[in-house]
Chain A
C-alpha cells in the first residue's frame, strides 16, 4: 500500500515514468558492443593458442581445428566483405551481394511474419471466444510444430504450384513465406491466447456491467491487456520467420536470398574460407533488423506495458 502523504490532492503530478534515461541506454549499447568484442577476442585467442588439428579425444573432435580453413581470422572475414564476389565481368563487391540477398530474405521473412501474426492472432481470438475451439485447435497447433521443416517444404511447393486463379501464379518465394509463417504463427497464437485471457475478473466484470458485447471487450480490454504477452511472442515469431526463410530458401531452392548464398559460398570454402562467413553476417544483420523492428513496436506500444499498482 502506498502511504497517505502521496494521496494528498494538492500534490503535484509526478513526472512521466518513462522519461528517457540516457545513461541506461548508453550502458546497454556498451555492453552489447563489449559482448561482440569479447567473442572476437575469444575466437582469435583460441585460433592463436589452440592446436591446428583441434582437440581430439579418441575419434571425437572436442574443439575445432584452428587452421585458416576452419577458422579464418576475423579481419580476413571483414576484409573479404569488401573484395569482389569473383573474377568475372559481372563481379560485384561481396558486401553489396550480401546486402542484396539480405534485403530479399528480409522481405520474404517479413511477408511470412505478417501472415503468421495474422493467422496466430485469429486463432488466439477464436480460441478465446470459444472454449471448445481451444480444446479442439490447441493440440493441433502444438503438433504442427513437431513436423520437421524438411518434410513440409516440398509439400508446400507442390500444393502452391497447383494453385491457379486468373493470372495469379504461385511463385517459389511464396512457398518460402508460407513456411516462414508456419514457424511464426505458433508463438503468436500461444502468447496472444494467454494475453487475451489475462485481464482480471474485475475488469471483465466491469465491462459486463457496462453491458458491452464481446467485440468491444476484445478491442478495449483484451487486446490492450495482451500487449505484454504479445511482444515477446512477436519477437520469437520474427526470429522464427527469419530462420524459417533461410532454411526454406535452401530446401525449396529459391535463388536470391541468404539461404542459397550460404550454400553457394560454402562450396567455394576450400579456396576462399573467409567468403563463407559473408552471408552468415548477412543473416545476422537480417535478424538484427527484425529484432530492431520489434523493439520499435515495443516503444510504440509502451503505454500498454504499464503494470497497474494494486490499489
Chain B
C-alpha cells in the first residue's frame, strides 16, 4: 500500500514526463538583498519537478523559503540563479498565458465585489462574455458549497467561506496548475478538515496539478502524492517523501485514522526534525 507504484501514473516521479512537467525547477537560488547590502539566501540549489495532475506539498519550518519558491513558480519574483519552467514555458510566459491559478493565505477578495463578482474577476479581466462568466461562477459556487451566497459581499462571510471563494476564484479558468500558499492557515480545525476533503475532490475532478504550502504535517500527508520537506538557512530541499494513500476516491475521512496515514505522518515528522529516515520505503534520497 505504501509502495510508490501504488500511486497513480500521473503522480509517478518526474523522469517519465520531463517534457510536459507541470513545474520544473532546476538549480534555483534566491538571494534577497536587504538594506546595507545584507543578503538572505532564501533558497539554495532547488530542484523540483511536479508532474501534471500531481499534488505536491511543501513543508518546513518558518522562513525556509516555501512561499518564496511558490512565488518564483508564479513569476511574482525572479530567481537569482537557475530556471523555473511551467508546462514547458518560462514562468513569465506561463503567467501571461494563465497556466496557473493562485490562492494565498489571506483570501484577498475585493471587498466591493460580490462573491460571484470576485469569482468572475479573472474571467472578466480576460474578456470572457457575461453569460459564460455567470455560468462558470454558478458552477464553482456549487463546487465550494456557497451557492446561496452568490450576491453576498466578502465582509458578510466568515473567514472559511472567504477562503472557499478564493479557492473557487483560483479555479475559475480551469488552470492545469494550482499554487496555494497556506490557504487553510487561518481556518479552525473543523473547517480545515472539511476544506481538505473538498480540495482533494476538486483536484480529482479538475485533474489539476497542485503545489501546496503548509505548516501542518497531517494536512500535507492527507492531501499529497509527494511531500517536499525543506530546511531553513539556507532554504533547501531536505527530502521528498512519496505518500501512497491511494486515489482521491479513497481519501475519505476514515483515512485520517488509518494506520498508513499515521505511518506517513511520523515519517514526515522525522524528516522535519532531521532524523535519518532509515529503511523507509517511498523516500527519494537525494
Residues of A within 8 A of B (CB): 1-4, 6-7, 9, 11-14, 17, 200, 202-203, 205-212, 216, 220-221, 224, 227, 303-311
Assess whether B112 is in contact with A224, with CB atoms less than 8 Å apart.
Answer: yes
B245 at interface, CB cutoff 8 A: no
Assess whether B162 is in contact with A307, with CB atoms less than 8 Å apart.
Answer: no
- Cα distance, A11 to B154, chains bound together (Å): 15
Q: Given A17-B153, A221-B110, A311-B186, answer yes or no on A209-B100 (Cβ-Cβ < 8 Å).
A: yes
Within B60-113, the residues touching A (CB, 8 Å) are 74-76, 95-98, 100, 102, 104, 106-112
Question: Could you show 6 A-B contacts with beta carbons less than 8 Å apart?
Answer: A1-B186, A6-B161, A202-B108, A206-B108, A216-B125, A309-B159
Chain A min CB distance to B176 (Å):
15
* Residues on A with beta carbons closer than 8 Å to the beta carbon of B153: 17, 306
B262 at interface, CB cutoff 8 A: no
Q: Given A208-B76, A311-B162, answer yes or no on A13-B156 (Cβ-Cβ < 8 Å).
A: yes
* Residues on B with beta carbons closer than 8 Å to the beta carbon of A12: 148
Assess whether B95 is in contact with A211, with CB atoms less than 8 Å apart.
Answer: yes
Assess whether B158 is in contact with A209, with CB atoms less than 8 Å apart.
Answer: no
Q: Given A210-B98, A211-B95, answer yes or no on A307-B155 (Cβ-Cβ < 8 Å).
A: yes
Assess whether A3 is in contact with B125, with CB atoms less than 8 Å apart.
Answer: no
Assess whether A210 is in contact with B152, with CB atoms less than 8 Å apart.
Answer: no
Looking at the complex, which one of A2, A9, A220 makes contact with B159 (CB distance below 8 Å)? A2
Assess whether B108 is in contact with A14, with CB atoms less than 8 Å apart.
Answer: no
- Cα distance, A267 to B149, chains bound together (Å): 66
* Residues on B with beta carbons closer than 8 Å to the beta carbon of A14: 152, 156
Nearest opposing residue in chain A for B71, CB measure: A205
Nearest opposing residue in chain B for A224, CB measure: B112
Assess whether B190 is in contact with A4, with CB atoms less than 8 Å apart.
Answer: yes
Assess whether A306 is in contact with B95, with CB atoms less than 8 Å apart.
Answer: no
* Residues on A with beta carbons closer than 8 Å to the beta carbon of B111: 306-308
Q: Given A7-B161, A221-B110, answer yes or no on A309-B148 (Cβ-Cβ < 8 Å).
A: no
The total of interchain contacts (Cβ-Cβ below 8 angstroms) comes to 106
Assess whether B108 is in contact with A1, with CB atoms less than 8 Å apart.
Answer: no
B151 at interface, CB cutoff 8 A: yes
Chain A min CB distance to B258 (Å):
25
What is the interface size of chain B, counting residues whose CB is below 8 A from a CB of the partner?
44
* Residues on A with beta carbons closer than 8 Å to the beta carbon of B145: 9
Assess whether A13 is in contact with B98, with CB atoms less than 8 Å apart.
Answer: no
B206 at interface, CB cutoff 8 A: no
Looking at the complex, which one of A11, A17, A203, A206 makes contact with B102 (CB distance below 8 Å)? A206
Nearest opposing residue in chain B for A4, CB measure: B188
Chain A min CB distance to B109 (Å):
7
Assess whether A211 is in contact with B158, with CB atoms less than 8 Å apart.
Answer: no
Assess whether B148 is in contact with A13, with CB atoms less than 8 Å apart.
Answer: yes
Assess whether A304 is in contact with B104, with CB atoms less than 8 Å apart.
Answer: no
Assess whether B106 is in contact with A306, with CB atoms less than 8 Å apart.
Answer: no
* Residues on A with beta carbons closer than 8 Å to the beta carbon of B107: 311
* Residues on A with beta carbons closer than 8 Å to the beta carbon of B37: none
Nearest opposing residue in chain B for A303, CB measure: B112
- Cα distance, A203 to B102, chains bound together (Å): 12
- Cα distance, A51 to B283, chains bound together (Å): 97
- Cα distance, A303 to B151, chains bound together (Å): 12
B138 at interface, CB cutoff 8 A: no
Nearest opposing residue in chain A for B104, CB measure: A202
Q: Given A1-B188, A224-B110, A303-B112, answer yes or no on A210-B154 (Cβ-Cβ < 8 Å).
A: no
B146 at interface, CB cutoff 8 A: yes
Looking at the complex, which one of B102, B146, B186 makes contact with A209 (CB distance below 8 Å)? B102
Chain B min CB distance to A137 (Å):
27
- Cα distance, A311 to B151, chains bound together (Å): 18
* Residues on A with beta carbons closer than 8 Å to the beta carbon of B159: 1-2, 7, 309-311
Chain B min CB distance to A46 (Å):
48
- B 202-225 binary contact with A (CB < 8 Å = 1; else 0): 000000000000000000000000
Assess whether B98 is in contact with A211, with CB atoms less than 8 Å apart.
Answer: yes
Chain B min CB distance to A281 (Å):
39
B163 at interface, CB cutoff 8 A: yes
* Residues on A with beta carbons closer than 8 Å to the beta carbon of B186: 1, 311
Nearest opposing residue in chain B for A309, CB measure: B155
Assess whether B108 is in contact with A210, with CB atoms less than 8 Å apart.
Answer: no
- Cα distance, A212 to B157, chains bound together (Å): 28
- B 101-139 binary contact with A (CB < 8 Å = 1; else 0): 010101111111000000001101110000000000000
B8 at interface, CB cutoff 8 A: no
- Cα distance, A305 to B110, chains bound together (Å): 11
Nearest opposing residue in chain A for B162, CB measure: A311
Nearest opposing residue in chain A for B108, CB measure: A202
* Residues on B with beta carbons closer than 8 Å to the beta carbon of A7: 158-161, 191
- Cα distance, A309 to B161, chains bound together (Å): 12
